[in-house]
Structure 1
Amino acid sequence: MTEPARRTLLLAAAAAGLGLVGCTSEEEAGEKPRPSGTRSRTPTSVPPTPTETPLPAASPWPLVRTEVEPQVKRNAVRLLEALGTWPRGQDGTGPARRRAEAQGVPSGSVPGLVDQARPLLDAGSEATAHVIAAQYGGLLATRASVLVAMRQWGRAEDGAVRAGGATVDVRLGRSPGGWRVGALYPSRPAPPLARPGALIEQVVGHDRIHLPPAADADVRAGQLRPRALRALLALAETYEIDVSVVHTGHPRNVFGTNRLSDHTRMRAFDVWAVDGRAVIDPETPDSLIDGFMRDAARAGAYNIGGPRLLGGGGFFSDRVHRDHLHIAFDSDN
């Protein structure tokens, strides 16, 4: 099954359980599902020729009303979807600026944000972006970080469809008018190792470990330590694992502190769904998520965050970890 299909099934299930659509507030009430057979919201200036493979259709990430800070995540996700998706004739900086303005970005902030989004704007003559996972990287009274794992398809010069993607650390600040996007930090993984070794090859090739593009690139580049890789393989013997973030695209320090993150040390990975059940979905059984966290501790993790505080050492819970699991290790090997 393709990644967009998996993502759609997972989050559609969550939304169905709650009776939700892809919105989180009255501000997003206009984002209603289109009846079958209606025209896409995204205009196409020039339709693809019959010999070209069409790009996947754009579809908004289905936010749920149980989000801790709905406006924070909505503003981050919708801006990246807009910047990373365009029809033919709308590539380039000028149209990207107009798409940002349409998302309510103040005009003074638009040029800087579009410049920071450059890795998303070079996909080709047309492009489609799909959000795979969006999780909090940090959440304070007036500052926030949302880590958005994306897949993107673009039309190359030869007409072929090229697949890529990134994880973007979206920084927001609270203003009198609400939360505003202030900066974008796309992932920049290192090149893949020429000789990755058996452990890396087992992780990237495992059919029960699902890695978004940036996380996959991190693992192939050797940016996840062996102990964490072995734990992933051990957990995959019992669970299907949807990873969100590994190394790049994560804040360097624990948000709001001067402490170096275990992601920066290449000793941590985050998980947004277990056995096809999103961590944030209230219909996901507590026993499934709690069992995964305890099994992660048995696999060697020393610091495990999630939506509930479990008894015993090494576990923690806070508002940031309502939507994902943080699995970290205190040694490399």
Structure 2
Amino acid sequence: MTEPARRTLLRVAAAAGLGLVGCTSEEAHEEPGPSGTPPPKPTSVSPTPSEIPLPSASPWPFARTEVEPQAKRSAVRLLEALGTWPAGQEGTGPAGERAQAQGVPSASAPGLVAQAGPLLAAGSEATTRVIAAQYGGLLATRASVLVALRQWGRGADGGVEAGGVTVDVRLDRRPGGWQVGELNPSRPAPALARPGALIERVVGHDRIRLPPAADADVRAGQLRPKPLRALLTLAETYEIDVSVVHTGHPRNVFGTSRLSDHTRMRAFDVWAVNGRAVIDPETPDSLVDRFMRAAARAGAYNIGGPRLLGGGGFFSDRVHRDHLHIAFDSDT
């Protein structure tokens, strides 16, 4: 499996985490054979597919308050389908069939499958679950939906490997509705050999939850010190579910030629606070508003969310009904 910084080999530890028990070569005991000599050593005791099942698929639920529900649904369901397959259904051919089953025209399916890249490299079988899905941009006829994914795959030795990507899904509005036209998976840089205390504190913090691509971005040094320090400050009061940091986000502010603060490594997006999704109508407005004001006190200069707050630095639009954009104006 490529990109080792983004994938963790679970093997027997995964078996324990899934409530199953495996046996390692160190745990195997040799009993003397009939002739008094030990039997041959086993060639392999790696977990087999029957010993460690992959987590089951769990379709992402959609809030009734989505501003473009059909666009987000098209993006999410396609990625869930492309990134999940049973044993024997790996490869581009079956992936194209899964894409067509989600309404992708047969002429477009091969191109989208080719763009899926790391999402199709998980092994002989795989399960993909969506962690967060948010808008990256919304125009009259074009849209971007950013989908953070976690994926489990069957490795060559039969063990389970966990990883994930964030995909910038581009859609076009057609007469029949929104249609996926392009997939842009995240490709984080390698992790720093010496990340430093600030990065280690963020990735190890139990109140800061990072999806695989965002975690890889931070470990690679692709988030500047000021937003890193702000995350730690905010985590003193809140549990923070981050969705996007650097990779997997549009390079420019969608529909413009302006470079995004995510591209400058000066921003992070948050999809849930204290375990409450920003888009969930049951999430108290006061919780989200307090978090946004706390982000401003922590040094953010540009803060987007579902409501326009009074004071400088805040903004709101249709794109930010489902997440909070927290951006900074310094590289240090």
Task: Give your verdict on TM over 0.5.
Answer: yes
Report the 3-state secondary structure (helix = DSSP H, G, I; strand = E; otherwise coil) of the residue aligned with 1:185: strand
Distance in 2 (alpha carbons) for counterparts of 1:218 and 1:68: 29
SS at structure 1 position matched to 2:165: strand
Separation in 2, partners of 1:160, 1:200: 30
Alignment of structure 1 residues 255-294 onto 2, 5 Å? 255-294=254-293
Whole-angstrom distance in 2 between the partners of 1:50 and 1:189: 29
Q: Please show how residues 94-133 of structure 1 align to structure 2 within 5 Å.
A: 94-133=93-132
Correspondences of 1:1-333 after superposition (within 5 Å): 52-333=51-332
Which residue type is aligned with residue 156 of structure 1?
G
Q: Aligned partner of 1:99: which letter?
A: R
Q: Which amino acid aligns with 2:305?
A: G
Q: Give me the whole-angstrom Cα distance separating, in 1, the residues matched to 2:194 and 2:181.
A: 39
Paired residues of 2:239 and 2:274 also in contact (CA < 8 A):
yes
1:62-99 CA distance string (max 9 Å, x none): 01221000000000000000000000010001100000
Q: Which amino acid aligns with 1:243?
A: V
Q: How far does residue 52 in structure 1 lie from its aligned partner after superposition? A: 2.3
Question: Contact 1:52–1:160 (CA<8 Å) still a contact in 2?
Answer: no
Moved over 2 A (4+): 48-52
Q: Distance in 1 between matches of 2:256 and 2:136?
A: 12
Structure 2 CA distance for aligned equivalents of residues 50 and 221 of structure 1: 33
Residue 117 of structure 1 aligns to a residue whose secondary structure is helix
TM-score w.r.t. length of structure 1: 0.85
User: 3-state SS of the aligned residue for 1:292?
Assistant: helix
**Cα shift at 1:50:** 7.2
Letter in 1 for 2:313: G
User: Alpha-carbon deviations, 1:187-208, whole Å to 9, x = none?
Assistant: 0000000000000000000000
Code of the aligned partner of 1:65 = R
The 2-side partners of 1:86 and 1:65 are apart by 29
Instruction: Indicate conservation of the 8 Å contact 2:168/2:184, yes or no.
Output: yes
Cα-Cα RMSD: 0.9
Q: Secondary structure at the match of 1:183?
A: strand
Structure 2: which 5+ runs fail to align?
Answer: 1-46
Partner letter of residue 168 of structure 2?
A: D
Closer, same or farther: CA 114–50 of 1 in aligned 2, 3 Å: closer
What is the number of equivalent residue pairs in this alignment?
Answer: 286
Which consecutive unaligned segments of at least 5 residues does structure 1 have? 1-47
After TM superposition, the score normalised by the length of structure 2 is: 0.85
Deviation string for 1:137-184 (max 9, x for gaps)?
A: 000000000000000000001000000100000000001111000000
Distance in 2 (alpha carbons) for counterparts of 1:64 and 1:273: 13
* 2: CA distance, partners of 1:281 / 1:65: 8
